[in-house]
Amino acid sequence: MVMVLNRSLHNNLALPVPAIRKYKLTLMFSFAMAVLIHVVCWTVLPLLLLRNVALDMVEGMAWGREWQLGYEKDPPLFPWLIELLTTWSNKELWISYLAGQLCIATVFYGAWRLGRRVTTDRQALVGALLLEGVYYYNFPTHEFNDIVLQMPFAALFGWLLHKAITENRLADWIWSGVVASLGLWSRYSMGAYILPLALFVLAHPVARRRLASPGPWALLLTSTLLFLPHLYWIVESGFVSIEYVGRRAPKITTIPDFLSGLFSYIGAQLLALLPMLLIAIMLWRWRSARAWLQLKWQNFDQAYVTVLALGPIVFSLLLSIVTARSLRAMWGAPLWCFIGVFIVMIVRPVLSTERLRYFGYSWFIALLLPATIFILDQLYGAKITGNDKRTHFPGTELARIVTDRWHATINSPLKYVAGDTWYAGNVSFYSSARPSTMFSHGSYRFSPWIDPQRMKSFGAMLIWDAGREGDAIPPELAAEFPNAISQPQVTLDGHVSIHRIGLAFVPPEMLENLASVESDRTGR
C-alpha cells in the first residue's frame, strides 16, 4: 500500500479530466486494499489461534435460538444474526470472525464516504485509515458482539445523515431512519449518536431549515416504526434490559469514587486513541497560520463533523455525570467512528509525497503491532497469567461429555440446560441437542421462552463452576430445582488450568411418576 500511495497521492492537482479520474480510482484502490488487508488479517488470526467460542457469542447464541424481541442485556439483532450465521456455517467460527471484520470494514467505509464529502479525496483516505490506530477497531474485534455490530450502523448513519441534510432527498432521510433503527436494535448506545445529531439539526441554521421539508419527519417516522416492536417488548418485559444497564453501571454515592471512575474512563479512551494520535502528529502543520484549527460553527461541514466525532463521547460523559453512574471502558468503543475524519478536517494536513510515505509506514505499524501482540497473547498469555483464556476452553469436549452422561442416565432428549453462563452456554452451543438455556442468575424472568411445565416434563441439566462455587448445587439452582440429583464432576484439562465443573440432573417429571408407580407396586 505504501508504494501505491507514493505513486498516486501526489500534489499535482492541475490534471486533465482522464488523469483526475485515474487518480481518483487509484485512491479508491488504495482504500480498498487497506481495508481488505485489515479484514484478512483479523479474520485469519483468530481462525488460526482460537479454538473455542467467546463469552459474548456464547450468550448471544443461547438467546438467538429462541427468537425473542429482546433479551436480558441487549436488543435482539446481535443474537438473531449470530444464530443465523452459525447455523448456516454449521457452527464454524470463521463466520463470526469474518462478520466482525465486515462490520469494521463498514466503519472505514462510512468514514471514508463522509470524508470525501467534506474534505479532499486524499484527506478522506487518510482520515478513514487513521482508524487503524484506534484500539477498538483491531485487537478486541475477534469477538463479534453487540458493540461491534453497532459500529457500522453508527458509521453509515453519520454519512447518510450528512447526505440527507445537504441534498435533502427523501430517500436519504428514509435510509438514515432505517440505519438509526438498526443501530438501536443492535445496542442502545446508538442513542449517543442520534441525540447529539438531533440537537445539531435543531441548533444549526443550515440543518434547521430542513425541518420545513418532509425529510426529517420521514426519518423520525421510519426509525420509530421500525423500533416500535422492541419498545413494546421493553415495556412488556418490565424493563429488564434497562435494569441491566443500571446494574452494570451502579450509582456511585461518593464524589471521590465517582471522579476516580470518570477519569479512569477518560484515560482508557485516550489510551485506546493513542496510536492514532501518534500517527496524526506527523500530519500536523507546524507552519505558522492564524486559522490552523478549522473549528467554525458557521461552516456546516466542520460543525457537523465536530458534533459527529465528539458528540457521542460528550453525551456519554454528561449522562454519566447527571446520573452519577460509572462508565465501562469498552462502552466507548462505538463512539469514535469519525475521529479520523475530524482530525484531518481541523488540521487540514499538507499531504506531500514524503508525509504520505511516512503515513503509509505508520499505517502498517498500526496494523501489525496489535496483530503481533494478539499472537503473543494467544500463544503465551495463559502461561504468564496462569489462567486459561475462554477462547481456548475445551467447550466441544464439555458438551460431548455432558450430553453423553445425560443420555446414559435419562431416557429423554436433552431439552434444557440451566446454570453458569459460560458453561451452560458452551453446552447449549456445542451439544448436538442445542438445548434451550436458562442462566442461573436470572431464573424464568430472564428466560421467558422456557415454559416451567414443559421443563418439568423433559427435565434439565444443571451446570456450574465447582472450582469457584463448590461441589454442592449452588443455592439459586437448588431453590429452583429441589429434586435435582447431583452427578460426578466433570474435570477438563486446559492449557494451564484444570476446570472442575459441577453437574446435576433434574429428572423428567414423567420418569419421576413412573418411579413412584414402580415403588408403590413393589411395596404392595
Full 3-state SS string of 110-129: HHHHHHHHHCCHHHHHHHHH
One DSSP character per residue, 472-491 reads: SPPHHHHHH-TT-EEEEEEE
Cβ neighbors of 28 (< 8 A, separation 6 or more) are none
For 363, list phi and psi in degrees, rounded to 5. Answer: -60, -45
d(CA 134, CA 272): 6
Does pLDDT of 429 surpass 90?
A: yes
pLDDT, tens only, 411-420: 889 999 999 8
Whether the predicted pLDDT of 439 surpasses 50: yes
Burial (CB count <10 Å: 0-12, 13-18, 19+), residue 388:
buried
Pairing verdict, β 498-506 and 485-493: antiparallel
Which of these ranges, 190-204, 209-223, 483-497, has the smallest mean pLDDT? 483-497
Q: What is the C-alpha to C-alpha distance for residues 495 and 89, in angstroms, rounded to an integer?
A: 27
What's the pLDDT score for residue 17? 66
Quick one: pLDDT at residue 15?
54
d(CA 149, CA 147): 5
How many C-beta neighbours within 10 Å does residue 195 have? 14
Indicate the DSSP class of residue 34: H
499 phi-psi bin (left φ>0, alpha ψ -120 to 50, beta other): beta
Q: Residue 499: which H helix or E strand, with range?
A: strand 498-506
Give the integer Cα–Cα distance in Å for 371 and 135: 11
Neighbours of 444 (CB within 10 A): 13
Per-residue confidence band for 442, with pLDDT thresholds at 50, 70 and 90: low
Adjacent-strand bridge partners of 419? 439, 463
pLDDT tens-digit map of 243-252:
888 888 888 8
Give me the helix-helix angle, 191-203 and 300-323, nearest 10°.
130
Cβ proximity of 105 and 38 under 8 Å = yes
> Does 340 score more than 50 pLDDT?
yes
Mean pLDDT, residues 453-469 = 92
pLDDT of residue 9: 43
At residue 258, the 3 state secondary structure works out as: helix
Q: Tell how strand 436-439 and strand 416-419 pair up.
A: parallel
Neighbours of 376 (CB within 10 A): 11
Residue carrying the nine cell digits 439452582: 477
Asked whether 369 and 308 are in contact (CB, 8 A), the reply is: no
110 near 86, Cβ under 8 Å? Answer: no
pLDDT tier at 24 (50, 70, 90 boundaries)?
Answer: confident
d(CA 129, CA 28): 12
**Amino acid 349: pLDDT:** 80
- One-letter amino acid at 395 equals G
What pLDDT is attached to residue 446?
Answer: 87
Return the C-alpha cell found at 61: 447464541
DSSP per-residue letters across 358-427: HHHHHHHHHHHHHHHHHHHHHHHHHHHHSS--GGGS-HHHHHHHHHHHHHHH-SS---EEEE-HHHHHHH
- Encode pLDDT of 55-108 as tens digits: 999 999 999 999 999 999 889 999 999 999 999 999 899 999 999 999 999 999
pLDDT tops 80 at residue 10: no
Residues in the chain: 524
Q: How far is CA 96 from the centre of its chain?
A: 12
Question: Can you give the pLDDT at residue 521?
Answer: 43
Task: Give the integer Cα–Cα distance in Å for 137 and 103.
Answer: 10
Across the range 122-147, mean pLDDT stands at 95
480, 464 Cβ separation under 8 angstroms: no
pLDDT at 290: 45
Q: Residue 327 is placed in which grid cell? A: 462508565
Q: Which residues contact 428 (CB under 8 A, 6 or more apart)?
A: 58, 61, 62, 65, 417, 434, 435, 436, 437
pTM of the model: 0.91
Ranking 24-28, 169-173, 238-242 by mean pLDDT, the lowest is 24-28
Residue 296 confidence (pLDDT) = 72
The mean of the pLDDT values for the chain is 89
Q: SS3 helix, strand, coil % of the chain, rounded to 5?
A: 70, 5, 25
Q: Give the pLDDT of residue 295.
A: 67
Tally of CA atoms within 13 A in the half-sphere of 213 that contains its CB: 20
Tens of pLDDT, residues 207-228: 999 999 999 999 999 999 999 9
pLDDT band for position 354 (cuts 50, 70, 90) = confident
CA of residue 475 relative to chain centroid, distance = 33
Above 70 in pLDDT, residue 13?
no
Choose among 148, 146, 124, 127: nearest CA to 138. 148
Cβ atoms 435, 403 nearer than 8 A: no
DSSP one-letter string for 81-118: HHHHHHHHTTT-THHHHHHHHHHHHHHHHHHHHHHHHH
User: Which H, E and C letters describe 293-326, residue by residue?
Assistant: CCCCCCCHHHHHHHHHHHHHHHHHHHHHHHHCEC
More confident residue, 134 or 456: 134
Q: What is the pLDDT of residues 293-332, one digit of tens each?
A: 556 778 899 999 999 999 999 999 999 999 999 899 999 9
